[in-house]
Amino acid sequence: MKIDLVTIFPGILDGPFRESMIKRAVEQNLVDINLVDLRLYTEDRHRQVDDNPYGGGYGMIMKPEPIFKAVEDLKSRSEDLPTKVILLAPQGRSFNQQIACELAEEKHLIMICGRYEGIDERVRTALVDDEISIGDYVLTGGELAAAVVVDSVVRLLPGVLAEEASTEESFTEPLLEYPHYTRPRVFKEMEVPPVLVSGNHGEIARWRREKSLEITFRRRPELLKKVNLSPEDRDYLEKIKKQQS
Ligand code: ADE
């Protein structure tokens, strides 16, 4: 997969892909991440990427020409790859694991990081295929949002995570994770649940399932509607509900 990140602040995106799992994925050529400085696509002396809004009002708007030029250039450089152009902006559809999985199937992503008060609408109408928000809050720009999206997409690419981890992990099924423990067995008088040291794999799996169901029920009950619940799961949830009332 190839990912081009179009930004006026490439420095913000320098760090996140130089560490840990994403760094390894880049080194192993599982993904090619390319930071693209939007100012390189300006032609004026001041390398201007923004301008005043028509109709007046507060703030500056990102100009369309450099963005169109950048995207056209990046598309032409990877002619053979089908490309998806994504704008990171608070108005976009809410990002989630399902969208991460969809994007992980793509061959070439161009992500445009919005800045200032907004972006010329013609970028949206004629250039962008998908608009993504990472949550209902406003960042100073789309760079950190792009880093979040790239991180969650790249870890899904074949070969990046251990096979087992990607199928077992939380959100393959939309249940929250059960609690984890490591050594020491007793820490500040808090003991690891005995079932986890019992060696009984069936019981351990059942305990984990029940903890996941319980945490999801207490924190994000709406997620349970999307889970395939077994008869045992249903009995367990009934038990918790009764305890609560
Ligand atoms: N740019 C500013 N805020 C954003 C958000 N919440 N998601 C994506 N891009 C943004």
The pair phi, psi for residue 151, each rounded to 5°, is -55, -50
Q: Are 30 and 158 in contact (CB under 8 A)?
A: yes
The pLDDT assigned to 166 comes to 64
**Ligand 1 nearest-atom number relative to CA 138:** 3
Q: Which residues is 5 bridged to in the sheet?
A: 35, 111
Q: CATH 3.60.90.10: does it fit domain 186-244? A: no
Ligand 1 neighbourhood includes 118 CB (under 6 angstroms): no
**Ligand 1 nearest-atom number relative to CA 137:** 6
CA dihedral (186, 189, 192, 197) positive or negative: positive
The pLDDT assigned to 192 comes to 98
DSSP class per residue in 70-86: HHHHHHHHTTTS-EEEE
Over the range 181-208, which residues count as b (16 or more CB within 10 Å of their CB) and which as e? eeeeeeeeeeeeeeebeeeeeeebeebb
Residue span(s) of the chain under CATH 3.40.1280.10 come to 2-163
Of all protein residues, the one whose alpha carbon is nearest to atom 2 of ligand 1 is: 139
Tens-digit pLDDT profile for the chain (245 aa)?
A: 999 999 999 999 999 999 999 999 999 999 999 999 999 999 999 999 999 999 999 999 999 999 999 999 999 999 889 999 999 999 999 999 999 999 999 999 999 999 888 999 999 999 999 999 999 999 999 999 999 999 999 999 999 998 667 666 645 689 999 999 999 999 999 999 999 999 999 999 999 999 999 999 999 999 999 999 999 999 999 999 999 88
- Which CATH number fits the domain 2-163, given the four candidates 3.40.50.720, 3.40.630.30, 3.30.930.10, 3.40.1280.10? 3.40.1280.10
Mutate to test the pocket of ligand 1, among 6, 138, 143 (most ligand atoms within 8 A of CB): 138
Residue span(s) of the chain under CATH 1.10.1270.20 come to 186-244
Of all protein residues, the one whose alpha carbon is nearest to atom 7 of ligand 1 is: 133
